[in-house]
Amino acid sequence: MRNPVQKLVLALAWVGVLACLLFVQGVQAEEAPADPTAAIGEIKVALDTVWVLLAAFLVFFMQAGFAMLEAGLTRSKNTGNIVMKNLMDFAVGSIIYWAVGFALMFGVGNGFIGHTGFFLRDTFAHLGLAIPLDAFWIFQVVFAGTAATIVSGAMAERTKFGAYLIYSAAISAVIYPVVGHWAWGGGWLSKIGFIDFAGSTVVHSVGGWAALAGAIVLGPRLGKYNKDGTINPIPGHSILSAALGVFILWFGWFGFNPGSTVSALNLSIASIAVTTNLAAAAGACLALILTWLKYGRPDVSMTLNGTLAGLVGITAGCAAVTSGAAILIGAAAGILVVFAVEFFDRIKVDDPVGAISVHAVCGAFGTLAVGLFAKEGGLFYGGGFELLLTQATGVATVFAWTFGLALLLFLAIKATVGLRVTEKEELEGLDLGEHGMSAYPEQVDMERSLAGVVRVEALGR
């Protein structure tokens, strides 16, 4: 037990502590409380940023979708090469887009092109972004990557890897960013009211027309077309891989379309997700029905393409049309893509995965469809022909720019470093010829697969 003196000291100490606490509390209470409006503003920015980043990550994952789809629809002797093309067009594209592309697309400029902010050395304040520049950039780079990777499918199984890298750098540096500037970077297309919300034209048609140029300059795969005009099917090696690719692309598209609001507070992200999904579903259903009627049995790979056709088709108008219209647009795209695939085969443009049919043709269609179905200004809503003509202008000019430039580029590559592999290499497979490896070593030859088996000498017996 403490003596009375100790008790007194203890009591005084406690009083002192209490007094200090009250004093501090009082001091704090005298400061102004945090401004609620500013706090809400901060939360808004955070929400928008998180949404844009999430959407960007979803669109990035579409790279995996493209890789799986393209690998699945091509032969196993070329799988390693397809993987490399898909990996590197994003890797190379990312750096080039950071250094040059983004500036041309979103920099201060004129109606044709931007010219400030190379290497992201600018605030880009003129964009009036509500989110950090980095968030906006990463969102944009994955879109650029999507345009670039479309081409690898149409040019699969016969393109020199180095030549492909050159093309890849060019599309991410110039071809795509200029179109992006016209429509989204304050350029002349946006000024005349052109609507391409998430990129049916800017991303998918750009990729698709470049793919067309590439496929034409390359020529068809060996043994694809006979002299009498008949077509030899070259089946892909894994329909399961192709299907997984389509599912991944569908999933990623939920970042592609709704993400293009660039804001979480714009609750149309919900209706955009719905139009996106319905168009994909309708595209799949109509491709299914059409192939069932045409070929007698529902065709798996065409139905997969039909799904993508619906997605590409709705990308321009996902924010401007009703759910019902989305179904019609997706359905029409699903039908269109089947005929387009057959058409390109008939004119001997060999496209192993249907990239041109899905992205160029349905991209153009989806863009025009906005002129018909937009709730504000669409022909079917009493808007007259004005929007439709604006959309057509965009489609035509982007075709001319993209196809023209890409054609020149591929012809230049062909004349210099060469675009196509040798016949011998094409027959052996690009994995061996371009990369000195095999994606499926156990299937190549016994000697190589035995190389993986443990050697008895190594066991020390």
Taking residue 69's Cβ as centre, other Cβ atoms within 10 Å add up to 32
User: Could you say which residues in the range 352-411 bind other proteins, by CB under 8 A?
Assistant: 354
Q: Is 157 in the site for other proteins (CB under 8 A)?
A: no
Q: Is 70 in the site for other proteins (CB under 8 A)?
A: no
CB of 80 to other proteins, least distance (A): 23
Q: Is 166 in the site for other proteins (CB under 8 A)?
A: no
Q: Is 443 in the site for other proteins (CB under 8 A)?
A: no
Q: Would you mind telling me the total number of residues written for the chain in this entry? A: 461
| Rounded Cα distance, 106 and 203, in Å | 15
Site size for other proteins, by CB under 8 A?
17
Taking residue 35's Cβ as centre, other Cβ atoms within 10 Å add up to 9
Name which position in 2, 227, 297, 455 contacts other proteins (CB under 8 A): 297
Q: Is 301 in the site for other proteins (CB under 8 A)?
A: yes
User: How many angstroms from the chain centroid is the CA of residue 238?
Assistant: 22
Name which position in 341, 349, 356, 387 contacts other proteins (CB under 8 A): 341
CB of 375 to other proteins, least distance (A): 36
Name which position in 4, 229, 233, 460 contacts other proteins (CB under 8 A): 233
User: Which stretch, 19-27, 29-37, 298-306, 448-456, contacts other proteins (CB under 8 A)?
Assistant: 298-306
DSSP letter string over 372-441? HH-TTT-GGGT-TTHHHHHHHHHHHHHHHHHHHHHHHHHHHHHHTT-SB--HHHHHH-HHHHHHS--SSH
Name which position in 42, 134, 342, 423 contacts other proteins (CB under 8 A): 342
User: Which stretch, 227-235, 247-255, 272-280, 440-448, contacts other proteins (CB under 8 A)?
Assistant: 227-235
User: Which stretch, 26-34, 232-240, 281-289, 447-455, contacts other proteins (CB under 8 A)?
Assistant: 232-240
Name which position in 23, 112, 295, 385 contacts other proteins (CB under 8 A): 295
Nearest in space to 301 (alpha carbons), one of 312, 314, 288: 288
Q: Is 235 in the site for other proteins (CB under 8 A)?
A: yes
Q: Is 302 in the site for other proteins (CB under 8 A)?
A: yes
In the chain, count of helices (H) and strands (E)? Answer: 20, 0
Nearest in space to 105 (alpha carbons), one of 91, 93, 95, 115: 115
Give whichever of 174 and 242 is closer to other proteins, judged by the CB atom. 242
Which amino acid, residue 178? Answer: V
Name which position in 154, 338, 362, 372 contacts other proteins (CB under 8 A): 338
CB of 354 to other proteins, least distance (A): 7
Nearest in space to 362 (alpha carbons), one of 340, 378, 385: 340
- Tell me the CB-side half-sphere exposure of residue 269, using CA atoms within 13 A: 18
Q: Which residues bind other proteins (CB under 8 A)?
A: 231-235, 294-297, 299, 301-302, 338, 341-342, 345, 354
